[in-house]
A and B are shown apart, each in its own frame.
Chain A
Amino acid sequence: MATNHAAPKRVVIGMSGGVDSSVAALLLQQQGYEVIGIFMKNWDDTDENGVCTATEDYDDVIKVCNQIGIPYYAVNFEKQYWDKVFTYFLEEYKAGRTPNPDVMCNKEIKFKAFLQHAISLGADYVATGHYARVQHNEDGSLMLRGLDANKDQTYFLNQLSQDQLKNVLFPIGEMEKSEVRKIAEEAGLATATKKDSTGICFIGERNFKEFLSQYLPAQPGNMETMDGEVKGKHDGLMYYTLGQRHGLGIGGDGEPWFVLGKDLARNVLLVGQGFHHDALYSTSLKAIKMNYITTTPLANTFSCTAKFRYRQVDEPVTVEIMEDGTAHITFAEPVRAITPGQAVVLYDGDQCLGGGTIDEVFKNGERLTYVG
């Protein structure tokens, strides 16, 4: 029978086996799209018994897809993930920095390898269960924070280009997490009460130290104060991050001890007392790998807000875009524990302007070499 209806648009959605992407798939299907669920296998975590824990997540993808009546497939990006994300992750740790593999995973895997896969499947749109919003306009796409301020994931999406964003849908970006759970429960989805995943995906629930030690040799060394007083031993600089309190094992009187920096050349971990230790504060930073998600060019210098870590409150900043593509970002007030390797992400109200990687940190114009 002939109909006048156009064929439904095809959406390929990345499904992790979690509640967010499950509900995203359900919503798309209810909106009348032709939905195809794809599970990405990015990490070979087969244990000594030949069991890969991705199996459980894929089982959940299967259950949910069968419940909502959409086809499902899996795709293997282990090689791409290893080459583009994990190698970078190790290199950064080797260089004494604290990398953000989720930012890289979005840039290289979910919105590159996966996007290409989706295109090869004839997708009109690609969707994920991120808490973010995207506005497709005539002159390009804008990215907005997810409405759930607690869950907003634009921080991890700051490296996406116009090309990567142009066919993207974020079906749950307009929702609170509690609404997402409620929809899942009402629909009886298998993942409705599944616990949210935590930590870095390839490490999962495992001990971070133990995991990292399988790939990078740990070199124990001294913990010293900024004045050179030895306070104890560290297990390897890569296990510590700026501003960290736990795991130092320095006792004694007075305020608790915190990581202030790393002296890579001497393999020394710099420590000091007090959450608000002066050495933890800086006033500006240099960011590299800057990416801007705007449809009109930004001024060379502009004011906006910035996040230096996921789930921090925004800080007011002034951004100066340099000739060489880097950016110099000056804070309105000194900020604690700015960490090289992490992302700096810029916002104008709800709009995510893009971001880059924190490369150098300054206090009143002077570079703080001890932070990495």
Chain B
Amino acid sequence: MIYLDYAATTPMHPQVIRDMTAAMAVYGNPSSIHQAGRAARKLVDDARRTLAQTIGAKENEIIFTSGGTEADNTAIFGVAYANQHKGKHIITSQIEHHAVLHACEQLEREGFSITYLPVDSTGCVRVQDVKEALHDDTILVTIMLGNNEVGTIQPIAEISELLQMHQAVMHTDAVQAYGMISIDVNDLQVDYLSVSSHKINGPKGIGFLYQRTNAPLQPLLYGGQQERKRRATTENVPAIVGFATASTLTSDRDVYERYKQQMQKTWQDAQLSFTINGAHTLPHILNVSFTGVNIEALLVNLDMAGICASSGSACTAGAVDPSHVLVAMYGADSDKLHNSVRFSFGYGLTAAQVQEAAVTIANVVQRLVNL
């Protein structure tokens, strides 16, 4: 098997597993006042500091969540409910992850008005569009940092700049970008930023929301006083520890760019007809449109040949629905909706595997085109 779906999830790094295994023996409740509690509390505090440093944040600005989805939901509902007295308008884009889009749709049902900005054919939001969409009653702009399907990096710093003299606060979903490009919340000037652990070789079920000091937020969970009352629930200490370990592991991201070139060269040599979706993308995502290929047949054939890749988002009944990201880029009638596949790279992948996969993909595509 050759795994080329790191954008979906990643394997845990051995060091993560070691640190988590050790942390599992530290069973105290971090909120307890005794020594067992203090031992656990130290692990959580250390992890929080480590993670904060990776994005130039302060420790208290990190709220642990169950993952990227909860981080996005916490930011969006949290700002909407806290600031609805200032206005009920929110700006987002058509290419957001469903954790953002469906949260916004729910707010729409609750009486908020949402602007879903279009993108250009590379999958990029235009700063000018944000500027024009801003109104006096806009309270939140939420645009992702790097798209999870085609990888296009969004002009977040420029968009934040627009908000410096505006009441609206800025959230970015950095789930796919974190660990792949350097991120500093002060350079980006964002007020909220979502991160997930399992995309960076950490465990599933843990993530964080960065919340700038004094930025508004109404909690979604009530109970204990954890996370400074912003998210009640006893901390998942081993997962938090594993997450922090994962955040310190550096991988050579330039190598992913080389993998991309390597695959494309193989396909060019095989004289395949293909185009790349997205431009100025995250290093680990390669979204390709193979002319004349049916994506459902391609993905199953690749799986049978031992290659794990994906496309768009599967509907709950398993069938591939056209990707909303590609629809936003190319329109609902484009052939690319039905012939695009995403390959994504990560820790553990070797150049030899990439080469083997590229050749197998070329063979499968050729067979399907000639069928």
Q: What is A's interface to B at a CB cutoff of 8 Å?
A: 36, 39, 41, 51-52, 54-55, 57-58, 61-62, 71-76, 78, 117, 119-122
- B320/A119 in contact, CB under 8 A: no
- B317/A75 in contact, CB under 8 A: no
Q: Is B304 an interface residue (CB 8 A)?
A: yes
- B297/A117 in contact, CB under 8 A: yes
Among B301, B319, B368, the residue within 8 A (CB) of A75 is B319
Among A52, A54, A76, A120, the residue within 8 A (CB) of B371 is A120
- A54/B297 in contact, CB under 8 A: no
- B300/A73 in contact, CB under 8 A: yes
Q: Is B214 an interface residue (CB 8 A)?
A: no
- B318/A41 in contact, CB under 8 A: yes
- A120/B317 in contact, CB under 8 A: no
Contact partners of A61 in chain B: CB under 8 A: 318
Q: Is B184 an interface residue (CB 8 A)?
A: no
Contact partners of A41 in chain B: CB under 8 A: 315, 317-319
- A58/B318 in contact, CB under 8 A: yes
| B360-371 to A contact mask, C-beta < 8 Å, 1/0 | 000000001001
Contact partners of A62 in chain B: CB under 8 A: 318
Q: What is the bound-complex CA distance between A58 and B299, given in angstroms?
A: 18
Seed contacts A117-B296, A121-B300; 6 additional CB < 8 Å A-B pairs? A39-B317, A62-B318, A76-B319, A76-B321, A120-B294, A121-B297
Q: What is the bound-complex CA distance between A76 and B304, given in angstroms?
A: 19
Chain A residue with the shortest CB-CB distance to B299: A73
- A122/B296 in contact, CB under 8 A: no
- A76/B320 in contact, CB under 8 A: yes
Total interface residues in chain B, CB < 8 Å? 18
Is chain B's interface secondary structure helix, strand, loop, or mixed overall?
Answer: mixed
Task: Give B314-330 interface residues, CB cut-off 8 Å to A.
Answer: 314-321
Contact partners of A75 in chain B: CB under 8 A: 296, 319
- A121/B301 in contact, CB under 8 A: yes
Chain A residue with the shortest CB-CB distance to B102: A50
Q: Is B137 an interface residue (CB 8 A)?
A: no
- A57/B317 in contact, CB under 8 A: yes
Among B304, B318, B321, B368, the residue within 8 A (CB) of A39 is B318
Is chain A's interface secondary structure helix, strand, loop, or mixed overall?
Answer: mixed
- B301/A122 in contact, CB under 8 A: yes
- B304/A122 in contact, CB under 8 A: yes
Contact partners of A55 in chain B: CB under 8 A: 316-317
Across the A-B interface, the 7 shortest Cβ-Cβ residue pairs: A74-B318, A54-B317, A76-B319, A41-B319, A120-B297, A55-B316, A74-B319
- A120/B368 in contact, CB under 8 A: yes
Most buried by A among B294, B296, B319, B320: B319
Q: What is the bound-complex CA distance between A117 and B297, given in angstroms?
A: 7
* A117-B296, A120-B294, A120-B371 given; A71·B303 CB < 8 A: yes
Contact partners of A117 in chain B: CB under 8 A: 294, 296-297
* A41-B319, A51-B316, A52-B317 given; A76·B296 CB < 8 A: yes
Q: What is the bound-complex CA distance between A55 and B315, given in angstroms?
A: 8
Chain A residue with the shortest CB-CB distance to B305: A122
Contact partners of B301 in chain A: CB under 8 A: 120-122
Q: What is the bound-complex CA distance between A5 and B261, given in angstroms?
A: 40
Q: List 21 A-B contacts (CB under 8 A).
A: A36-B304, A39-B318, A39-B319, A41-B317, A51-B316, A55-B316, A57-B317, A58-B316, A75-B296, A76-B315, A76-B319, A76-B320, A117-B294, A117-B297, A120-B297, A120-B368, A121-B297, A121-B300, A121-B301, A121-B304, A122-B304
Task: Give B274-322 interface residues, CB cut-off 8 Å to A.
Answer: 294, 296-297, 299-301, 303-304, 314-321
Q: What is the bound-complex CA distance between A61 and B319, given in angstroms?
A: 13
Chain B residue with the shortest CB-CB distance to A71: B303
Chain B residue with the shortest CB-CB distance to A117: B297
* A120-B371, A121-B297 given; A74·B304 CB < 8 A: no
Q: What is the bound-complex CA distance between A349 and B315, given in angstroms?
A: 45
Chain B residue with the shortest CB-CB distance to A17: B317
Among B294, B318, B371, the residue within 8 A (CB) of A73 is B318
Most buried by B among A71, A72, A75, A119: A75
Q: What is the bound-complex CA distance between A74 and B320, given in angstroms?
A: 8
Q: Tell me the smallest distance from the CB of B55 to a CB of chain A, in Å.
A: 33
Contact partners of A74 in chain B: CB under 8 A: 314, 317-320
Q: Tell me the smallest distance from the CB of B315 to a CB of chain A, in Å.
A: 6
Q: Tell me the smallest distance from the CB of A175 to a CB of chain B, in Å.
A: 28
Q: What is the bound-complex CA distance between A36 and B303, given in angstroms?
A: 12
Most buried by B among A76, A78, A121: A76
Contact partners of A39 in chain B: CB under 8 A: 317-319
Q: What is the bound-complex CA distance between A67 and B300, given in angstroms?
A: 20
Q: What is the bound-complex CA distance between A121 and B300, given in angstroms?
A: 7
Q: What is the bound-complex CA distance between A181 and B319, given in angstroms?
A: 28
Q: What is the bound-complex CA distance between A71 and B303, given in angstroms?
A: 10
Among A52, A73, A76, the residue within 8 A (CB) of B316 is A52
Chain B residue with the shortest CB-CB distance to A40: B319
Q: What is the bound-complex CA distance between A78 and B300, given in angstroms?
A: 18
Q: What is the bound-complex CA distance between A41 and B315, given in angstroms?
A: 10
